[in-house]
Amino acid sequence: MRTVIFDLDGTLADTSRDLINAANHCFRGLGLGDVLTHPADAPTAMRGGRAMLTLGFGRTGSHGEDEIDRQYPILLEAYGRDLSRHTTLFPGTMAAVGALRGDGFAVGICTNKPEGLAERLMRDLGVRDAFGSLVGADTLPVRKPDPAPFVEAVRRAGGNPTRALLVGDTVTDRETARAAGVPSVLVTFGPLGRAVEDLAPEALIDDFAELPAVAARLLS
């Protein structure tokens, strides 16, 4: 079965404000105030908690690598307490998923967000049941850009890894698809905008309405 696997943060949903709020919780606890701002730091938020902590401590010049390790679990705990307050699906997300399923595609999710948090977020958004799989950062011993989580997401969705593609928004998604030997489709409506064109994916989409036709062409 042909399969479309989606990244989550910055692809299916704009999670950046809730992620930045969680990072700022850490900085406030250290007496640094709100170091990150939204939407300016949204691209860093899409790279995960450690990236946000690295950026923030780089700005303040006050803490080293050891503090990132100490603060990361605190960030995850803060995020888990309030992970969907400001998060919204990008326009047309579920219409595209429905169209893909109607055309006989399997659909799933492969994210570098911890699996438990990803499951909770998708259920908070009311759309988890539309996806045949969800593989997170800690589902396997490795995470993207290693291809194994992508392959596992395809397998759990009931698909064939040789007839699949990955929809994402960052270089991590591009590298994952390349490592798996499958096409990548990068969205231009995520935090990086049209800068993803420089990553030379097999396709770009400006709107989710374009995805069903693009997937059909790439997996013909």
Q: How many residues does the chain have?
A: 220
Which residues participate in catalysis according to the annotation? 7
Q: Is 60 found in the same domain as 36?
A: yes
For 15, other C-beta atoms within 10 Å of its C-beta total: 26
Where among 38, 53, 81 does a domain terminate?
81
Q: Which domain holds residue 21?
A: 16-81
> What's the pLDDT at 203?
98
Q: Mean pLDDT, consecutive 10-residue segments, the chain of 220 residues?
A: 97 97 98 97 93 96 91 96 97 98 98 96 98 98 98 98 97 97 97 95 98 98
Strands (E), the chain: 3-6, 13-14, 88-89, 106-110, 134-135, 164-168, 184-187, 203-205
Report if pTM > 0.75.
yes
> What's the pLDDT at 62?
85
Q: Is 25 found in the same domain as 9?
A: no
Rounded Cα–Cα distance for residues 134 and 162 (Å): 19
> What's the pLDDT at 178?
98
> What's the pLDDT at 63?
86
**Number of folded domains in the chain?**
2
The CATH number for 180's domain is 3.40.50.1000
Where among 59, 81, 103 does a domain terminate?
81
Where among 60, 81, 102 does a domain terminate?
81
Q: Is 109 found in the same domain as 35?
A: no
